[in-house]
A and B are shown apart, each in its own frame.
Chain A
Amino acid sequence: MRRWRGIIVPLVVLLVAEITFRATVTMSDSLAPPSRAVGALLGALADGTLLANTARTLAGMLGGLAIGGIAGLAAGIAIGFSETLRRASFLTIELLRPIPSVALLPLSLLIFGFGYSMEIAVVAFATFWPALILTQNAVAQIEPRLIEVARLMGLSRLETAWKIVLPAAAPRLMTALRLAAGLALVVAVTAEIVSNPQGLGHDLMIAQETLRPERMFGVLLWVGLFGWGKNAALLRLERWMFSHRGEVDTSVAA
């Protein structure tokens, strides 16, 4: 029974919104009752436009996540290995990291113009930093004896990274991936709302500008479901992959 408590509140809110809307408003350019929003959502799913836009957002998000994530992973391992590199780079990293990724939107638009590239570049910048920091932490928390073993076995740095560091840090890296994926979706949608005319963010803006509130709320619901579903799936994958290793510490990422 307790599991179902969570669903009651949204249902009641939607029901109240529906009734209030039907009782008071006849026409509106800015609001729509939940039933019509859900109807618009189903219609947009059926005619394929929403799925096409979802694919575009997904492409921007995954492209940026791949570039930013892999670059951050590589840099994090390099810095995690080398004390000299860590000390030489910390100031630069601490100065660049707080730059809000949205501040790069005008720059990215200037360089790449409209399209996937500008969105991917900004998502890559945004996801690079958490990937870097979390990888660095993950490497730092590897049992030092494992590294010692690698050294005794005469493994090269690349081999050590591949055979020892990545497997040992895998649970933490998976957590890092989940957090970075959440960030990537937010940044991709934001880029589409602010400047890139494609994908789900642009769909929302167009629905607002053309005074179709039912589509706007339908797409908003879809964006929420999409983000929530993606997060739940990654969380489940993480638990399934590493259930035998016990708790994964996420505190560093909070």
Chain B
Amino acid sequence: MSAVSRIPSPIMGVAGLALVIFIWHLVTTGGMVSKAFLSSPADTLSALQRGIASGELVGQTRATVLRMINGWLLASLVAIALGSLIGISQTARDFLRPTLAFLRSLPASAVIPVAISLVGLGPSMVLGVVVFGSVWPTLLATVQGFATVEQRLRDVAQVLHLSKAAFIWKIGLPNAVPDIVAGMRLSLTVALILSVIGEMLSGQEGLGTAILLAARAFRAPELYAGIALLGLIGLVSSYGLLMAERRIVRWR
């Protein structure tokens, strides 16, 4: 027990991962699972290398990441602006909260058929769906951040005759920043998911389309390479924002 507990955590983590990959290797090379369903770690790695060397995977990754970031930035702008307007007024909150709660509980992918029928199967449909879906976490977080402004600060603002715009800018937004960043982190996850779904349905360039085509052609190594890259995008984006969140919380 004490011998194991003296091993540093990073080494334990790497050892655990190595064990999982070794089991994966044994399962695939031992023929326990069909190669059509699960490619071996080595085949997956070489599919990744080939895809990166030929530039194909790089282009698809770039397309998906750009879609995700563009939709997310647009959604964040809309969410923070709208959230501030709703957040400063108790009345607006009373009127709009149930509607927002309802819209948020709607699976974002369920609006895809509506978007297809309105806009068609183009890149703007995908972007629209990404924006619609990833607006909610940040929007509700912004409203929440405004709702928790202390009464004393509201009183001060009233005494100083601050305009609504000044109140938003000087008191509301700074107070809401931790909530907003936390909401934006959730929004980014949603944006990635919707980008992939949108690509799969519309055939736009990106990793979503790439893995769909790989699966249809029974090319398991390419399929797993694409899944691994999508996992990497998810990992990097959520860690990046988590770091930003920690830094902001510490700075406050």
Contacts and interface: CB of A to CB of B under 8 A. Distances in A.
Interface residues of A, number: 60
B99 A220 contact: no
Interface in A138-185: 182, 185
A194 B197 contact: yes
Contacts of B227: 99, 103-104, 107
A125 to B, nearest CB: 11
A216 B117 contact: yes
Contact of B110 (A87, A213, A220): A220
Given A98-B234, A105-B200, A194-B200, A208 B16 contact: no
A185 B107 contact: yes
A91 B17 contact: yes
A100 B113 contact: no
Contacts of B208: 102-103
B215 A109 contact: yes
A249 interface: no
A193 B113 contact: yes
A227 interface: yes
A88 B17 CA distance: 8
Nearest to B37: A111
A186 B16 contact: no
Interface residues of B, number: 65
B214 interface: yes
Interface string B70-85: 0000000000000000
Interface string A25-48: 000011100000000000000000
A20 interface: no
A231 B103 CA distance: 13
Contacts of B114: 208, 216-217, 220
Contacts of B192: 100
B235 A6 contact: no
A227 B197 contact: no
A100 B234 contact: yes
A227 B106 contact: yes
A108 to B, nearest CB: 9
Contacts of A254: 182, 186
B176 interface: no
A143 B138 CA distance: 34
Contacts of A243: none
B151 interface: no
Contacts of B5: 83-84
Interface in B202-252: 207-208, 211-212, 214-216, 218, 223, 226-227, 230-232, 234-235, 238
A6 B37 contact: no
* Of listed B182, B189, B212, residue having the most chain A CB within 10 A: B212
Contact of B16 (A13, A88, A201): A88
Contacts of B98: 6-7, 9-10
B47 interface: no
B218 A110 contact: yes
A200 B110 CA distance: 9
Contact of B14 (A6, A91, A195): A91
A99 B110 contact: no
Interface in A206-238: 207-208, 211, 213, 216-217, 220, 223-224, 227-228, 231
B96 interface: yes
A87 B10 CA distance: 8
B111 interface: yes
Contact of A224 (B105, B116, B223): B105
A102 B95 contact: no
Contacts of A96: 231
A106 to B, nearest CB: 3
11 contacts: A6-B96, A31-B118, A92-B17, A100-B189, A103-B196, A190-B109, A193-B197, A194-B109, A220-B106, A224-B106, A227-B107
The 7 closest A-B pairs by CB, nearest first: A98-B234, A91-B13, A6-B98, A106-B215, A88-B16, A208-B113, A99-B231
Interface of A: 2, 5-10, 13, 29-31, 83-84, 87-92, 94-96, 98-107, 109-111, 182, 185-186, 189-190, 193-195, 200-201, 204-205, 207-208, 211, 213, 216-217, 220, 223-224, 227-228, 231, 254
